[in-house]
Structure formats: C-alpha cells, structure tokens
Amino acid sequence: MKTVDVVVPLYNEENLVDELVRRLQSATAELSYSFRFIMVDDGSRDNTLAKIKAHQERDQRIIVISLSRNWGHQCAFNAGIDYADADAVILMDGDLEDPPEMISDFIKHWENGADVVYAKKNSRVESRFKKLLYRIFYSLMRRFSNVTIEKQVGMFSLLDRRAHAELKKCSEHNKYYVGLRSFVGFKQVQISYERHKRFSGKPKQTLDKLLTYGMNAIFSFSFLPMRLLTSFGIFLLGTIATVSTILFFARLFRFNFWPFYVLPGWTSLVLILLFISSIQLIFLGVIGEYVARVYDETRHRPHYIINRIYTAEHALQKSDTEELVISR
Ligand code: UDP
Ligand code: MG
C-alpha cells in the first residue's frame, strides 16, 4: 500500500486539536493508503501537546514532533518535512482553514501523474488590511521574482516523493516554502478551493511574523530591492546630469526668469541633501539585509530544535511521556 504523510504545524491550538483529528480521520477513512499524521507542536504553551498525545494513544498513525520552543510556522513545517518519509507528503495548516476533505482531491491528481498538487484559495477570510497587504505582496512577487509565485497560493499542497526529496535539499535558512515548491519544478497541478474560516481561536501568525515571512519571500526569491537600488541610482544620475546641463546653459545665456534665476535658498539645498541621504540610508538597510542573510547562512545554526518525537510506541509507555507534559 502506498504511504502518505500529512504534516500539520500547531501552535497554541488546544481548542481545535480534537476537531482537526476528527476531520483528518474521517477525510482519510475511505482512502486505501497508509496514512501518518505528523503533528508538529511548535512550542505551544497551552495543552496542545497533551491533547495530541491523548489522540495518539487511540490512533497510532499520529506522530508528534515537539519543538524546543516557538520557531514559527515555516520552521515547524521544516521539522515535519524533514521527518516525513512517504510516497506523498501533504502539507496543511492546522486551523482547518485548509479543509482536510481536500486530501482525496490531492491524491486523485497525484495518481493521475502530478508530482506537486497545490491549492489556490478562491476567497480569503481576512481583514481588509491584511487582504491589501497580501495583494501588494503578490503583485510585487509576480513582477519581480525569478520563480513563479502565484496569487492566493499557500502551504496547502501535496508533494510526490521526488519533489519532497528535492525540497528537503533546499537547506537555506529563512525558508519560504511556497517559493521553494515552485522552484523545484516537476509536474505541478493547481486546484482551487474555498478557504474556510479558522475553526477556533485567533491566527497565530502575528502581523510581525507575516512581515518576516513576506520579507523572506522577497529577499530570497527576487533581487528586487537590489535592482531598485541600481535603477534609482541611474535615474538620479540622469536627472542630475539633465538639470546641470540646463542650469549651465541658463547661466551661459543669462536667463533671468523662473526657474533659472539664482535663489539665495539654502532650504532647497538642505532638503535635497536630506532626501538623498535618507534614500542612501534606506538602501544601506537593503544591503544590510542581504549581508545579514549571508551571515545567517554561514553560521549553520539549526533550522529548528526538536525536544522530542512521540511515536505510537512512546504513547504506549504512558508514564514517561506524562512527565514531559509537567516539565513543560
Ligand atoms: N503556527 C505555528 N507556529 C507559529 C504560528 C502558527 O506552528 O508560530 C501554526 C498554527 O497553529 C496553524 C498554522 O501554523 O496551524 C497557520 O497559522 P495561522 O492560522 O496563525 O496563520 P495564517 O492562517 O494567518 O497564515
Ligand atoms: Mg490560519
């Protein structure tokens, strides 16, 4: 029988673990594949871990990877993706915005020869502000990225063994999986779906985390910031050359009408100076961002740290897992 691993990151989601497990079980009940549900507990401070472990006692297909602290959405996926080892690996958020019922659609396309199947959201249940941010982000990425990153496409996807193996080889820090998935290639199929409402609780991806996520995407999948820097430099040089030529001839032919008469105004000078230095500072920051990323890569720090992996065998030795919950 073919094997399928479903990777789900969870951070402080105690209120939806039961529903998530129930929906995963019923969505896969009719499918004749050997499933494993790899739940990555991303350093939750509530009862998420204990709850998943309770389910594990009843359903041995559940594997729990408990991380040493909160590492963030992409790192949690990273841990699950590294652990997964199956003919197909499915990635999905744990908040039920990605409906588990779509697993059968993914598998259908996979069986029809697709190596990567990813879902595109028809609607996004988000605040207006977030929607606007997403729109800006996607249009920037579409225009400037060197891999195709489509609108309204997220983590929800299936990867065939080969695509999964290649994705695992991408060992950079600050991963942006949506981009990497497109980067690895193979036969990719898109299916669309209605994004559901979060089953319970608030999004755990704060605006801050989302911005970092967006920055990772922009800086690792495009040279947009650097290109802007160069184009702006060229534009400025061109403008200055034109203006000085005009001024030179104006002086030569003694034009004394606006804007060619000479003003005492140091205000304009100071303003121009401030403007140019602020632009310089911004772009120094841009360069700093690249340097920081190079530095980050050279340190070879782990992408996540696992506290412990609970497989079904562990679940059976109940006493020693119980201790860990207390020590958390
Ligand atoms: N998540 C995580 N670590 C984090 C933040 C989120 O593992 O630091 C999980 C979260 O529990 C959920 C999934 O990642 O299962 C998606 O998170 P969320 O719904 O908060 O993000 P959004 O839908 O806003 O992108
Ligand atoms: Mg969500």
pLDDT, tens only, 192-235: 887 777 777 777 777 777 778 777 777 777 777 777 777 887 88
Q: What's the whole-number mean pLDDT along residues 11-26?
A: 92
Alpha carbons 236 and 156: distance in angstroms, whole number: 44
Q: What pLDDT is recorded for position 244?
A: 79
85 within 8 A of 309, measured Cβ to Cβ: no
Taking the domain 3-204+302-324, which CATH number applies? Answer: 3.90.550.10
pLDDT tier, 328 (very low <50, low <70, confident <90, very high otherwise): very low
pLDDT tier, 93 (very low <50, low <70, confident <90, very high otherwise): very high
Which residues, by Cβ under 5 Å, contact ligand 2, an ion?
95, 97, 203
Residue 326 has pLDDT above 60, yes or no: no
pLDDT tier, 252 (very low <50, low <70, confident <90, very high otherwise): confident
| Residue 15 beta carbon below 6 angstroms from any ligand 1 atom | no
Q: What's the whole-number mean pLDDT along residues 40-48?
A: 93
Residue 314 has pLDDT above 70, yes or no: no
Residue 39 has pLDDT above 90, yes or no: yes
The pLDDT tens digits of the residues spanning 168-182 come to 998 888 788 888 888
In the chain, ranges of CATH 3.90.550.10 domains = 3-204+302-324
The helix or strand, by DSSP H or E, that contains position 37, with its residue range, turns out to be strand 34-41
Residue 13 has pLDDT above 50, yes or no: yes
pLDDT tier, 55 (very low <50, low <70, confident <90, very high otherwise): very high
Identify the nearest ligand to the CA of 204 by its number: 1
Q: What pLDDT is recorded for position 190?
A: 87
What is the 270 CA–ligand 1 centroid distance (Å)? 47
| Residue 14 beta carbon below 6 angstroms from any ligand 1 atom | no
81 within 8 A of 184, measured Cβ to Cβ: no
155 within 8 A of 92, measured Cβ to Cβ: yes
Pick from 121, 155, 205, 216 the residue to mutate for probing ligand 1's pocket: most ligand atoms within 8 Å of its CB. 205
116-121, strands of its sheet edge to edge: 188-193, 116-121, 153-160, 88-91, 3-10, 34-41, 62-67, 306-310
Q: What pLDDT is recorded for position 238?
A: 83
| Residue 41 beta carbon below 6 angstroms from any ligand 1 atom | no
Q: What 3-state DSSP class applies to 118?
A: strand
What is the 307 CA–ligand 2 centroid distance (Å)? 24
pLDDT tier, 124 (very low <50, low <70, confident <90, very high otherwise): low
Q: Which of 78, 98, 70 is nearest to 206 (CA)?
A: 70
| Residue 99 beta carbon below 6 angstroms from any ligand 1 atom | no
| Residue 212 beta carbon below 6 angstroms from any ligand 1 atom | no
Q: What pLDDT is recorded for position 5?
A: 95
Q: What 3-state DSSP class applies to 122?
A: coil
Nearest CA to ligand 1 atom 2: 73
What is the 84 CA–ligand 1 centroid distance (Å)? 19
The pLDDT tens digits of the residues spanning 152-171 come to 778 999 999 999 999 999 88
Q: What pLDDT is recorded for position 107?
A: 95
